[in-house]
Structure 1
Amino acid sequence: MDEKKLGLRDVVAVSVGLVIATSSLVSLGQGAGRIGELFIVAMIIACVFNMITMATMAELNALMPNTTGGLAQYTLAGIGPLPTMVLMVGGYFASNILSSGVEASIFAYAMGEVIPLPLPNYFWTLLISVVILIANLRGVDMFAKIQNLVCYLLLGSMLIMGLIGVFGLGTGAAVRQPAVMNATPKNVIAMTATAFWLFIGAEYAIPISKDVRNAKRNVPLGMFLGLGLICLVQSIMVLGFHRYTKWPDLMNSAAPHMLYGSNLLGMPGKIWMAFVAALAVISSQNSSVQALSAIAQGMTKMNMMPQCFGKTNRYKVPHVGVWFVTIAILVCGYISQDSSERISFLIQVGSVFWMLSYIVAHIDLLVFRKRLPHAPRNFKVPGGPVLPLIGISGIVYMICNISTDFHTRMMIYLATGVTFAALSVWSVLWIKLRMKMPLMKPVPINKVLAMENSMFYKVRRNKGLCR
């Protein structure tokens, strides 16, 4: 039996890894620019909603432990193949690859500003992607080493930069401005949709649970600790913004973190924030490549992805998935490069995809609570159906307020709707022709768990039940 290599520290690193990204630094600055330090309240509300979702994910993982497909397998057993296909390809693959590509392009722009080489900014996207590709092809141990180093350097850098601002230790000129802007409950609640993006992605610890020691404790605890650390560090950053950067400047900047670094410490601060941006993109893209390739591998076991995604190299890494995700990120990074408006729009579209997947996770949990009330669970969300229903309501509200501009909001809904319609058509054809299963009939949990065994589909193919 293989020794499990990852502990609580690794789970926290993976949970933080995708959450603290360059786009999060942008959203943090722009959110603070709108309502000042009051944005911390919106952040706390959004963090609580994300913790509710992580609690749901932890119970689902407790009910179906060690599944490589994570949410895909929960949804297949909960509400059937069609929602699973649409959710996982649209809600996870599309949104994660899209956001990682955007992250890479934001990072490339920042590096181009700090290190003006006679090369296109896309060079930095390509460079960082190749490094992460090689690391992930070397296996979970190499992934964890990089993730731990990058994650804690990132948190430490943000904390120090925030504290320098809070205590007025910067070399730049301090500004005088009110601590709070537009102080109404309506404005705070409206800004929770912006704050929600700051905490998306902690569930990426779920696919690595099979490699985690004492997973029943370390996986949920690691996700909660990761979200709590992020909320604390980003709150300190907002307090630092107040002293050294004018709120309107933050709100209107395409790179508010770079603006803060420059105002705080001059060119050294700008370089330091570029370093933070580099750590953020390494952390988020490293998490995306590892988790998405693992999820794709899990979906091959359910015959929901081409079987090539299940093949592993000598390090037991699903290398086809690693290559596919990396190339897709490079394509999205190329499309979104050097366009702040395009970057902002793609982030918002990806956010809607992600929120819908969180809603489905809560629905899965409610279905299992009704269908299997006495099934053994080593972790259970307290309060019966109350917290999942609160989580669903909060996320629906945030989707409805994804943008303050009506036209932009409608375009986001249009892009999301067209994508899901296309995915639905493709999913129906795949399920009928390849899987040969009813579209909306849930698969029993014991059968979904049996799919983890490589013999499951060999037997089905021999019987002519699938291709």
Structure 2
Amino acid sequence: MKRDNASKLGFFSLLSVSVGLVVSQGVMVMMLHGVGMAGLSFVLPLALAWLLALTYACSFSELALMIPRAGSLCSYTEVALGHFPAIVATFSGYIVVAMFALSAELLLLNLVISSLFPALVLPPMALAMGILVLFTLLNLLNIDIFARLQSALAVVMIVTLVLLGVCAIGSDQATPVSALMTQQSAAPMGWGVIVLVAAAIWGFVGAEFVCPLVEQTRQPQRNIPRSMMVGLTVIFLTVLLYGLGALMVLPREQLVNNNLPHYLFAIHVFGHTGKVLLLAAAVTATCSTLNSSLATISRMLSGMAENGQAFTCFKAHSARTGAPWVAVLFVALITGLPMLLMNGDAVEILLLAAALCWLLAYIVAHVNVMVLRRRYPDLKRPFRTPLYPLPQLLGIAGMLYAMWNASPSPEMTAEIFGYAGGVLALVAVIAALWIVFVMRKPLFTPEPLEQALHPSRTEVANAARPVLNRAETENNA
């Protein structure tokens, strides 16, 4: 039955999805660390990260509207480059990112609650592990407690960050921008500030989660690209206000050296009320991100298993709840592992490793566009990248530079590349063996485009189902 157009997702539903990943403590911390290191000049890496994000929005828009039934990086890449790049890119951009980023989120929440309630004596990581277990159980039961709140939470967090920035800028304690310029807070790193692009881009990742919703979208050729580009611009302006406000009321040294700079910022601006505000924001942000990732990535793994691209055990679904229980447990396991091996001081390393992996996935998306343009020049493209191939070439070059300079300090470089490179190398070896000996297919031979477009094909876009359910619930409410 054809879906009624009135029930399809409009621009604002997609916009809430595109900014949804800004609802994370990782973004709050990374942006304030960047501001602390670079001062006012942080606007330069922030603007460059925004421009790089716009290039990936162009590539994903073109791919999603050209292959509207596939809707995921794995599906685009297997048609452009073959199964091996498809599997590695998908694990790099989503599964490995979840491993690092969700661990960092839970570590941050553990630190915030420990700081707010110092009298609370619990074993190390007990709170973080407890929350991970709770949301794993909820996902095994297929219960989504955020179904009606996801978009509202994204809006509330954006408003919270803007409010913090505006109130700080307008407060009596705020240092005027002119004074910051004379206190060597304008550009303490000089042109070396460019190395912070990798940190800055963490605030702009994830807008492509609107792409799997292409078939459920009203006027997708207009709303898919627009929602991503407007969402990324909203994030840019929000982080700009948030970072400037923090710089005007807190010393740079405190922003750099504190594991919870957003905690300091909230208390400095709002006093005791700031503690309550931060606790509410931290709990909701982390739980919402954790819940979304457990639901979405487990279904992505399940979809890949259905297509023969992952272990067959990931196809297992609970007969009672319908949840992909093996995949849910796997995502929970890889999320908890870094927490057991690391501590709260590793948050920035985990987030930068996650950013490096996500950038690799975006580079693959750019390459997909250029390969498919060459291979299928006459195929209908409802969205065509403006000034092609300039955005793709600039995106690849900029992201490679950001990856090469992912670490803000030499001593962190080995750890960041060690964690990200080690996990990705393991994924690459397993993927190669799987494709050759189980799938019995060549590593780099692309699948026919018709297979990706066929409506009966099990699609990796099923990974978007939890996001779609929330968006439809809110759209119909």
Please give the TM-score of this superposition, normalised by the length of structure 1.
0.87
Q: In structure 2, how many angstroms separate the alpha carbons of the residues matched to 1:390 and 1:309?
A: 37
Is residue 297–residue 318 contact of structure 1 (8 Å, CA) maintained in 2? Answer: yes
Is residue 38–residue 189 contact of structure 2 (8 Å, CA) maintained in 1? Answer: no
Report SS of the residue matched to 1:191.
helix
- Is 2:425 the counterpart of 1:441? no
Is residue 96–residue 423 contact of structure 2 (8 Å, CA) maintained in 1? Answer: no
Match of 2:414 in 1: 410
Report SS of the residue matched to 2:148.
helix
- Is 2:399 the counterpart of 1:392? no
CA shift, 1:322, in A, is 3.4
Is residue 67–residue 76 contact of structure 2 (8 Å, CA) maintained in 1? Answer: yes
Report SS of the residue matched to 2:180.
coil
- Is 2:30 the counterpart of 1:24? no
Match of 2:328 in 1: 322
Q: 1:279 aligns with which of 284, 305, 313?
A: 284
Is residue 19–residue 284 contact of structure 1 (8 Å, CA) maintained in 2? Answer: no
CA offsets per residue over residues 255-309 of structure 1, 9 Å max, x none? 1111111222223223322322223213322332233123223312321013443
Is residue 29–residue 257 contact of structure 1 (8 Å, CA) maintained in 2? Answer: yes
Q: Which runs of 5+ in 2 are unaligned?
A: 460-477
Report SS of the residue matched to 2:149.
helix
Q: 2:83 aligns with which of 77, 81, 84?
A: 81
Q: In structure 2, how many angstroms separate the alpha carbons of the residues matched to 1:331 and 1:157?
A: 31
CA shift, 1:130, in A, is 5.1
Compared with structure 1, are the counterparts of its residues 160 and 132 closer, same or farther at alpha carbon in structure 2 (3 Å cutoff)?
Answer: farther
Matched AA of 1:234: V
Is residue 81–residue 431 contact of structure 1 (8 Å, CA) maintained in 2? Answer: yes
Q: 2:96 aligns with which of 91, 94, 117?
A: 94
Report the number of matched residues.
449
State the superposition RMSD in angstroms. Answer: 2.8
CA shift, 1:409, in A, is 1.7
Match of 2:107 in 1: 105
Q: In structure 2, how many angstroms separate the alpha carbons of the residues matched to 1:140 and 1:384?
A: 43
Q: In structure 2, how many angstroms separate the alpha carbons of the residues matched to 1:454 and 1:265?
A: 50
Q: Which runs of 5+ in 1 are unaligned?
A: 456-467
Q: In structure 2, how many angstroms separate the alpha carbons of the residues matched to 1:139 and 1:215?
A: 29
Q: How does 1:49-60 map to 2 (within 5 A)?
A: 49-60=52-63
Match of 1:39 in 2: 42
Q: Is the deviation greater in 354-363 or in 32-41? A: 32-41
Matched AA of 1:329: T
Is residue 72–residue 88 contact of structure 1 (8 Å, CA) maintained in 2? Answer: yes
CA offsets per residue over residues 48-96 of structure 1, 9 Å max, x none? 111110110111111111325x001111111111112222223421122
Match of 1:261 in 2: 266
Matched AA of 1:403: S
CA shift, 1:183, in A, is 5.9
Compared with structure 1, are the counterparts of its residues 240 and 33 closer, same or farther at alpha carbon in structure 2 (3 Å cutoff)?
Answer: same
CA shift, 1:125, in A, is 2.4
Match of 1:430 in 2: 434
Compared with structure 1, are the counterparts of its residues 448 and 307 closer, same or farther at alpha carbon in structure 2 (3 Å cutoff)?
Answer: farther
Compared with structure 1, are the counterparts of its residues 46 and 35 closer, same or farther at alpha carbon in structure 2 (3 Å cutoff)?
Answer: same
Match of 1:198 in 2: 203
Q: How does 1:40-439 map to 2 (within 5 A)?
A: 40-67=43-70, 70-116=72-118, 117-120=120-123, 122-129=125-132, 132-133=135-136, 144-168=147-171, 173-174=173-174, 178-179=180-181, 180-182=185-187, 186-311=191-316, 318-336=324-342, 338-340=343-345, 342-439=346-443
Q: In structure 2, how many angstroms separate the alpha carbons of the residues matched to 1:33 and 1:390?
A: 28
CA offsets per residue over residues 313-339 of structure 1, 9 Å max, x none? 677654543343234323334434x43
Q: In structure 2, how many angstroms separate the alpha carbons of the residues matched to 1:23 and 1:101?
A: 10
Is residue 301–residue 451 contact of structure 1 (8 Å, CA) maintained in 2? Answer: no
Match of 1:458 in 2: none
Compared with structure 1, are the counterparts of its residues 402 and 147 closer, same or farther at alpha carbon in structure 2 (3 Å cutoff)?
Answer: same
Q: Is the deviation greater in 145-154 or in 391-400? A: 145-154
Report SS of the residue matched to 1:264.
helix
Q: In structure 1, how many angstroms separate the alpha carbons of the residues matched to 2:394 and 2:289?
A: 28
Q: In structure 2, how many angstroms separate the alpha carbons of the residues matched to 1:77 and 1:348?
A: 30
CA shift, 1:24, in A, is 1.4
Compared with structure 1, are the counterparts of its residues 410 and 94 closer, same or farther at alpha carbon in structure 2 (3 Å cutoff)?
Answer: same
Q: In structure 1, how many angstroms separate the alpha carbons of the residues matched to 2:17 and 2:122?
A: 32
Matched AA of 1:39: F
Compared with structure 1, are the counterparts of its residues 425 and 200 closer, same or farther at alpha carbon in structure 2 (3 Å cutoff)?
Answer: same
Q: In structure 2, how many angstroms separate the alpha carbons of the residues matched to 1:108 and 1:302?
A: 38
Q: In structure 2, how many angstroms separate the alpha carbons of the residues matched to 1:149 and 1:125?
A: 24
CA offsets per residue over residues 107-162 of structure 1, 9 Å max, x none? 12101211343334634324543564466567798654231132112112111111
Report SS of the residue matched to 2:121.
coil
Compared with structure 1, are the counterparts of its residues 54 and 33 closer, same or farther at alpha carbon in structure 2 (3 Å cutoff)?
Answer: same
Match of 1:463 in 2: none
Q: In structure 2, how many angstroms separate the alpha carbons of the residues matched to 1:14 and 1:135?
A: 21
CA offsets per residue over residues 347-371 of structure 1, 9 Å max, x none? 2222211111111110011000111
Compared with structure 1, are the counterparts of its residues 329 and 146 closer, same or farther at alpha carbon in structure 2 (3 Å cutoff)?
Answer: farther
Matched AA of 2:25: T
Q: In structure 1, how many angstroms separate the alpha carbons of the residues matched to 2:391 and 2:412?
A: 31
CA shift, 1:203, in A, is 1.6
Q: In structure 2, how many angstroms separate the alpha carbons of the residues matched to 1:218 and 1:143?
A: 24
CA shift, 1:214, in A, is 3.8
Matched AA of 1:299: M
- Is 2:27 the counterpart of 1:11? no
Report SS of the residue matched to 1:36.
helix
Compared with structure 1, are the counterparts of its residues 220 and 128 closer, same or farther at alpha carbon in structure 2 (3 Å cutoff)?
Answer: farther
Is residue 14–residue 227 contact of structure 2 (8 Å, CA) maintained in 1? Answer: yes
Q: In structure 2, how many angstroms separate the alpha carbons of the residues matched to 1:209 and 1:197?
A: 24
CA offsets per residue over residues 226-249 of structure 1, 9 Å max, x none? 211111111111221133111121
CA shift, 1:253, in A, is 1.5
